[in-house]
Amino acid sequence: MLPEKILQSAADFVRERFAHDSSGHDWQHISRVRQMAVKLAAEEGADLYVTELAALMHDVDDWKLTPGASAEHADKTPETRRFLQSIAVPQPVIDQVCDIITRLSFKGAGVATPMHSLEGQCVQDADRLDAIGAIGIARAFAYGGAKGRQMIDDTVEPEMHGSFESYKKNKGPTVNHFYEKLLLLKDRINTESAKRIANERHEFMQLFLQQLSAECRGIH
């Protein structure tokens, strides 16, 4: 199958799979990550095909979204592999895409998540850019609501998770997530192209949190 056909098949697959997602990981999120990853790849000189395919597939085996998925399993991307094999993607490309997906996610403030390929860096940066700024704020509260979390609870302090296991078990209020993850992402961006965007989005989140705090305290 030609790369263009493979990308279209992947897009159709994930569009249908995430059509009814209400946690901020819907098709619109995947589409934004795809667009941004390709933009970064073009600027950084990465392989556009591998980057785009990994961006399209990046949430298929996400432990937060897939019942039964586990980052501890030897094969962390079973559904991705199964689908890509079904449309005859060459094995070296499947291996590249699955390696990117395996390394992609944030796993706690104290857990390093290095990406070994330029294509992976572009996808990781695109995914993290979609977690910050105005869209990141919207997605954070969508995810918190979908998981039944409180928006704000001043009695619960943010926790800088030192392990992935601790991070997975976190059930804190959504505002804490900004301090536990979102405000940390600016300094975990890989590419120079993405860093410029991340700085602006980071500043917007800081302004939002300042305004939110003031409103909660009755100042505004």
Contacts (Cβ under 8 Å, ≥6 apart) of 121: 44, 46, 115, 190, 191
CATH topology of domain 3-216: Hypothetical protein af1432 (1.10.3210)
* Confidence at residue 218, expressed as pLDDT on a 0 to 100 scale: 85
What's the one-letter identity of residue 191?
A: T
Quote the pLDDT of residue 32.
Answer: 98
For 56-105, the pLDDT digits (tens) are 999 999 988 765 554 444 468 999 999 999 999 999 999 999 999 999 99
Q: What is the pLDDT of residue 75?
A: 64
- pLDDT the model gives residue 71: 47
pLDDT by residue, tens only, the chain of 220 residues: 789 999 999 999 999 999 999 999 999 999 999 999 999 999 999 999 999 999 999 999 998 876 555 444 446 899 999 999 999 999 999 999 999 999 999 999 889 899 999 999 999 999 999 999 999 999 999 999 999 999 999 999 999 998 888 888 888 899 999 999 999 999 999 999 999 999 999 999 999 999 999 999 888 6
The residue ranges of every structural domain in the chain are 3-216
Model pLDDT, residue 153:
92
